A and B are shown apart, each in its own frame.
Chain A
Amino acid sequence: MKTRPIKDWLFFAFIALGIACSLILPLTIMTYLDYAESGYGLEAEVDGYTIGSNDNVQLMLELTNPGKLKIQITGIQWNLAGSDEWFTGSIPGEIYDIEGGSSEDIIFIFSIPNQAVSDSLLSGQVEYELQIEIYIPYRDAYTTFIQSGSAGVV
């Protein structure tokens, strides 16, 4: 049996794989470092908010964890653009787990004593900024996820 053609094909496959991996490796490192800095691929989307009694704002967040690592939410803060005031939200059960590859709707409750902020919320579309403090048990990492966007009153 002639092994030369087989060896040639294996060799070219190796070279092709090497070129492909030279592209994948830097991309992987960049993505990984970016994830490590900004919350392991966590995605947050404001589904809506309602203003209840006693100036309580209920913020409905859809949190998506695309990776396979479990993410724990240890704290959440919210502010409206134009004001430097940060409102700390209460987390159901103090620590909230988001399992790997899952997408969940969670309601966080913020109490906003400032009347001006409540008025601007009621007036319609507002710009906001979210800071979610997360802990990754498997990587032993504490990091903060920051997202800004805009939402209207539901």
Chain B
Amino acid sequence: MREQSDCIRNFETSSKLHMCEQSSHIRKLEGIERFGMPDIQDEATEEKLKEMGDTWSIQDEQIESLDPLKYSSWPWLILKGVFGVIILTTIYLIYNLVEIPWTIGENFYGMWVFAGIPFFVAFVLGMTFESGVKALAFALTVGMISLVLLVILLHLPYNMELFDSSGGGQSTYLWWYILLSFINLISLVPVGAVLASSTNVFE
């Protein structure tokens, strides 16, 4: 460090500059010897580099085989999709049905369940994929199926004519809760899925 600063200080002095260049060259050589820095022209080093390359490619293969083996195979993917639909439908349904005893609608703790579970579900669904686009597509498809199921289930009493209704399922209150579920779906589910896939670091 001190030599270097001397060199810079005496930069304009030609003779000393030459000396500086020489000394830095020597230092470089010393460095190679001391730390074993690779010399490309050396055959032994080339072999060493090739070995290193092989090691890396083996490691790459291992890394790739780790995650998809367990989580991205078709049976797991189908199971995740089915469970995702079931969980999201259940959460949206018990949020909408404020008359049942285990409802989470109009309830302080229920509010956090309503916000947290869809995010968590989307997060686990998103872990399946390395690509954020695929994760987003999968999670949103699962979410949309849940929403359609929700609307069908909420209109079941009207369609089965379990009670008389003047509006035929056009209740504003009912649709307001469905809208809340839809807002939950388009805001929390994509965030969970994309966050999981973008932070999907193997091991």
Residue of B nearest to A35 (CB): B99
Check A2/B162 contact, CB under 8 A, given A11-B71, A25-B90, A28-B94.
Answer: no
Residue of A nearest to B99 (CB): A67
The interface on chain A, measured as residues whose beta carbon lies within 8 A of the other chain's beta carbons, has a size of: 37
Which of A15, A37, A41, A140 contacts B100, CB < 8 Å?
A41
Given A28-B102, A140-B171, 16 additional A-B pairs, CB 8 A: A4-B203, A7-B71, A10-B127, A14-B80, A28-B90, A28-B100, A32-B157, A36-B157, A37-B162, A40-B99, A67-B98, A68-B98, A68-B99, A139-B174, A141-B157, A143-B163
Check A33/B171 contact, CB under 8 A, given A11-B71, A28-B97.
Answer: no
Within B132-176, which residues are at the interface with A (CB < 8 Å)?
153, 156-157, 160, 162-167, 169-171, 173-174
Q: Does B191 contact A (CB under 8 A)?
A: no
Within A128-150, which residues are at the interface with B (CB < 8 Å)?
137-143
Do A36 and B163 touch across chains, with their CB atoms under 8 A apart?
yes
Residue of B nearest to A22 (CB): B86
Main secondary structure of the interface of A (DSSP, over half): helix
- Chain B contact residues, CB within 8 Å of chain A: 66, 71, 79-80, 82-84, 86-87, 89-91, 93-94, 97-103, 105-106, 117, 120-121, 123-124, 127, 153, 156-157, 160, 162-167, 169-171, 173-174, 199, 201-203
Closest 5 CB pairs of A and B: A67-B99, A18-B83, A36-B157, A68-B98, A138-B173
Do B153 and A29 touch across chains, with their CB atoms under 8 A apart?
yes
Number of CB contacts from chain A to chain B under 8 A: 128
Report A67 CB to chain B, min CB distance, Å.
3
Report A40 CB to chain B, min CB distance, Å.
5
Do B162 and A138 touch across chains, with their CB atoms under 8 A apart?
no
A35 / chain B contacts, CB cutoff of 8 Å: 99-100
- Chain A contact residues, CB within 8 Å of chain B: 2-4, 7, 10-11, 13-15, 17-18, 21-22, 24-25, 28-29, 31-33, 35-37, 40-41, 66-69, 100, 137-143
Report B23 CB to chain A, min CB distance, Å.
44
Do A21 and B87 touch across chains, with their CB atoms under 8 A apart?
yes
Do B99 and A14 touch across chains, with their CB atoms under 8 A apart?
no
Do A14 and B97 touch across chains, with their CB atoms under 8 A apart?
no
Do B90 and A15 touch across chains, with their CB atoms under 8 A apart?
no
Do A41 and B93 touch across chains, with their CB atoms under 8 A apart?
no
A25 / chain B contacts, CB cutoff of 8 Å: 86, 89-90, 93
Do A140 and B165 touch across chains, with their CB atoms under 8 A apart?
yes
B71 / chain A contacts, CB cutoff of 8 Å: 7, 11
